[in-house]
């Protein structure tokens, strides 16, 4: 069973690459950002709560996010493995994830971190904002906040898994296919 955490700052290409990896390795792709957007689109209580954080570029509280992720994983007992995109984003989420996996007698195979510089991230997010319909991709101040939040709260997750010898940095600059090949090589290594 292969369980991958696809890691990296907003705009690093996690969603695009996770979709391709899920198809190639027959994994269930879970994007917590997509799950929140689905809830927001349906005006559910969870969506309304999440929106107040997402619109500012802040993280949704762990208590909400962890429960949502676990529910989604529980819907796929048949899974051949998971690819997590946008989760975990805090140390607390990492600890919760380890517990969820341990309870299922499963383990994380690797954390693959897409490395992209800030200038390129901002450029990509503003470009995506022209068509994504995402309020958090349009305003340069919110984009900047999302990148700061990543450095302050999310980057430590890399070290958390590095201590378990699971983290690997992948160059996230290049064509979609080039980056995909790098990720596939890392998974088969």
Active centre residues (catalytic)? 14, 89, 128, 134, 146
| Stretch touching ligand AMP by CB under 6 A, among 17-25, 39-47, 51-59, 99-107 | 51-59
Question: Is 167 an interacting residue with respect to ligand AMP (CB under 6 A)?
Answer: no
- What are the distances in angstroms from CA 181 to CA 38, 166, 170? 30, 19, 10
For the CB of residue 156, give the shortest distance to ligand AMP in the complex, in Å.
Answer: 14
- Tell which one of 4, 21, 27, 54 touches ligand AMP (CB under 6 A): 54
- Tell which one of 17, 27, 36, 114 touches ligand AMP (CB under 6 A): 36
| C-alpha span between 66 and 61 (Å, rounded) | 9
Question: Is 129 an interacting residue with respect to ligand AMP (CB under 6 A)?
Answer: no
- What are the distances in angstroms from CA 57 to CA 71, 111, 119, 142, 171? 24, 23, 18, 5, 25
Question: Is 86 an interacting residue with respect to ligand AMP (CB under 6 A)?
Answer: yes
Q: Which residue is nearest to ligand AMP (CB)?
A: 33
> Which DSSP helix (H) or strand (E) runs through 127?
helix 118-132
Q: Are 30 and 6 in contact (CB under 8 A)?
A: no
Q: Are 152 and 140 in contact (CB under 8 A)?
A: no
For the CB of residue 78, give the shortest distance to ligand AMP in the complex, in Å.
Answer: 24
Strand spans (E) along 63-179: 82-85, 110-115, 167-171
- Which residues contact ligand AMP by CB under 6 A? 10, 32-33, 36, 53-54, 57-60, 65, 86-87, 89, 93, 136, 146
């Amino acid at each position: 069973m292969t369980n991958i955490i696809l890691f990296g700052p907003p705009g690093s290409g996690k969603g695009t690459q996770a979709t391709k990896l899920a198809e190639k390795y027959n994994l269930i792709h879970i994007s917590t950002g997509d799950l929140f957007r689905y809830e927001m689109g349906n005006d559910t209580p969870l969506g309304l709560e999440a929106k107040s954080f997402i619109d500012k570029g802040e993280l949704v509280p762990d208590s909400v996010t962890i429960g949502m992720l676990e529910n989604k994983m529980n819907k796929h007992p048949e899974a051949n493995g998971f690819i997590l995109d946008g989760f975990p984003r805090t140390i607390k989420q990492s600890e919760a994830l380890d517990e969820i996996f341990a309870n299922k007698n499963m383990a994380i195979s690797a954390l693959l971190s897409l490395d992209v510089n800030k200038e390129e991230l901002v450029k990509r997010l503003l470009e995506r904002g022209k068509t994504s319909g995402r309020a958090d991709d349009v305003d340069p101040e919110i984009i900047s906040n999302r990148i700061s939040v990543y450095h302050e709260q999310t980057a430590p997750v890399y070290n958390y898994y590095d201590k378990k010898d699971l983290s690997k940095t992948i160059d996230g600059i290049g064509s979609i296919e080039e980056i995909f090949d790098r990720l596939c090589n890392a998974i088969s290594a």
